[in-house]
Structure 1
Amino acid sequence: MIRSLKALVLAICCAAVIVPFFGIIATSLASREDVTRAGGFVMFPSGISFDAYEAILSGGVVTRATVVSLLVTVVGTALSLIATTLLAYGLSRRGTLLHRPLLAIVLLPLLFTPGIIPSYLIVKYLGLLDTYWSLILPVMVNAFNVIVLRAFFMELPQEVMDSARIDGAGDFAVLWRIVLPMSKAVLAVVALFYAVAYWNSFFGALLYINDTAKWPLQLVLRTYVVNQSELGVDQLGATELPPREAIQMAILVLSIIPVLLVYPFVQRHFTKGVLVGAVKG
């Protein structure tokens, strides 16, 4: 009885996730007649039409925003992973210069987050407004990810690193040849955290980017899907517009696809990386 109840609850939870997602994909592939007949949200289209995807990928604002999001995600994830790894490795070596003050500075944002106005003023003072760097530099290092990596580095066998130092290896050689190869699981998880955060971020662009040509995909999604703003022919670059609902759902699907493509390759490292990096002992 209990097993049947658990299976029922699990089935309901899965249906609550799968059914809306299926409806989004179906609506994005529906024709104008199907959308009109269903009143906007289509579950079972009579045929498959790629007009909405052709419209948003025809060189207009959505195509440009997708390229911006990909650029920010790739560059931001790479820089964040490098900075986080170096900082976490330095903090994991006890006795290094300013070890405790730097650790306190890293832990401080976990307790007190800066406000919007101070963040905006700093970005403006540094001359980063209306640049892609404003979407990367203010959030390049996440304190939680630093703590996870630091905890993992501290659990690595000290004897292996001491042997490398006896053989003449310096700190960077130990990090590159010993530490990083042993940390693939947790690095993959941290990279996934950063990539998803960069890809899904829209608030930074809303604050710092005034030029619509530099908008990332998530801000376009918020403007034209959540706020129900109209997308015209000049904004999409298409000669004929499909139904508005189909375009909105196609943009939503486009914003989800990269995460769905990347996650399966990282999933096998996910549980191991989080548990080993976050739990000591």
Structure 2
Amino acid sequence: MRQSTGSRVFDVANLVLLGGMAVVTVLPLLYVLAASFAGEAEIASRPFFLWPEHFTTATYAYIFATGTFVRALLTTIAVTAVGTVIQVLLTFTMAYPLAKRYLPGRALVLNLVIFTMVFSGGLIPTYLVVRDMGLLDSYWALILPLAINPFYLIIVKSFFQELPQALEEAARIDGANELAVFWRIVMPLSKPIIATFSLFYAVAIWNDYMSPLLYISDNTKWTLQVLVRQLTSPEAANALATVDSANFFPVEGIKFAVVVIATLPILLFYPFLQKHFAKGVMIGSVKE
């Protein structure tokens, strides 16, 4: 099909605009990656570069030799893994019954869910609830208060409503109860949306800075994001308790290296879910 002149101009303008946005987005990332493999003198003397003149992994060796950083990294991985499983499980188990129009009190529960999307108790009431539940200085404080995202819940509910009812009815005829229908029929059909919201929840937990800052006062339980903030602050030289001032301490390089390490796991995690992600984000976007 032949394109009009206006369509070709529009396509070219789109390519230029999107290409410019991509360059603006990617260049800082490449600079951070390059600086993480550069020496202290080069970082100080070159304001911007995409390839270090003297390639070195000394900064990464220093970071992984530090118990504080390794502990924070492992803590964040564990909290993200456990939190993602719990949040996805709670979201899907709540969304499934709400997708059934015959459920008593369904409208009231849905209205309460929508209410929380508009109004919240605020920072101080939330902190008081976490404190009174005895979750301070506990990793559960990073998972349970945000266990169900109401917006995600509504989307998952809409997805369950679009599933063919004949499959569930056939399973019930074969003697399956509601729990069996959910685990053996509904969940296997929900792989795209499970992958999508697992990624959303995992990224949110991994990048969460405020929750550990508010609820975790024990620095041995710091997550990676809090430690990254400490290391990239002006007082970075005092951030690690194991620092020996007589030895090499890459103050500038460590700032770039910890950002790379904090970003890399999510970037590596995404390709495994990519085939489900495109389909999952379109769920509920088209209604017949």
TM-score, structure 2 normalization: 0.91
Distance 1:200 1:108 in 2: 26
Residue 174 of structure 2 is aligned to residue 191 of structure 1: no
Match of 2:128 in 1: 121
Please list, as runs of the form range in 1=range in 2, the aligned pairs for 1:100-119 lying within 5 A after superposition.
100-119=107-126
From 218, 225, 232, give the equivalent of 1:211.
218
Give the deviation of 1:194 after TM superposition. 0.5
Determine helix, strand or coil for the equivalent of 1:235: coil
Instruction: Provide closer, same or farther for how the CA distance between residues 10 and 233 of structure 1 changes in structure 2, counting only shifts above 3 A.
Output: closer
Give the deviation of 1:54 after TM superposition. 1.1
Match of 2:176 in 1: 169
Instruction: Provide closer, same or farther for how the CA distance between residues 192 and 43 of structure 1 changes in structure 2, counting only shifts above 3 A.
Output: same
Structure 1 contact 233–240 (Cα < 8 Å) conserved? no
Give the deviation of 1:268 after TM superposition. 2.0
Unmatched 5+ stretches in structure 1 = none
Moved more, 153-162 or 266-275: 266-275
Which whole-Å deviations, capped at 9, do the CAs of 1:172-207 have from their partners, x for residues lacking one?
Answer: 110111111111001110111100000000101111
Which whole-Å deviations, capped at 9, do the CAs of 1:209-243 have from their partners, x for residues lacking one?
Answer: 11111111111122221x33223495356783343
Residue 22 of structure 2 is aligned to residue 14 of structure 1: yes
Instruction: Provide closer, same or farther for how the CA distance between residues 234 and 180 of structure 1 changes in structure 2, counting only shifts above 3 A.
Output: closer
Distance 2:242 2:62 in 1: 6
Match of 1:57 in 2: 64
The two structures, once aligned, show a CA RMSD in angstroms of 1.9
Structure 1 contact 32–242 (Cα < 8 Å) conserved? no
Please list, as runs of the form range in 1=range in 2, the aligned pairs for 1:61-140 lying within 5 A after superposition.
61-140=68-147
Structure 1 contact 55–236 (Cα < 8 Å) conserved? no
Instruction: Provide closer, same or farther for how the CA distance between residues 251 and 213 of structure 1 changes in structure 2, counting only shifts above 3 A.
Output: same
Distance 2:247 2:152 in 1: 46
Q: Relative contact order, CA 8 A, sep 6+: which one is greater?
A: 1
Unmatched 5+ stretches in structure 2 = 1-7
Structure 2 contact 81–202 (Cα < 8 Å) conserved? yes
- Displacement over 4 Å in runs of 4+: 236-239
Instruction: Provide closer, same or farther for how the CA distance between residues 6 and 99 of structure 1 changes in structure 2, counting only shifts above 3 A.
Output: closer
Which whole-Å deviations, capped at 9, do the CAs of 1:126-175 have from their partners, x for residues lacking one?
Answer: 01001111101101111011111100000000111111111111001101
Give the deviation of 1:97 after TM superposition. 3.4
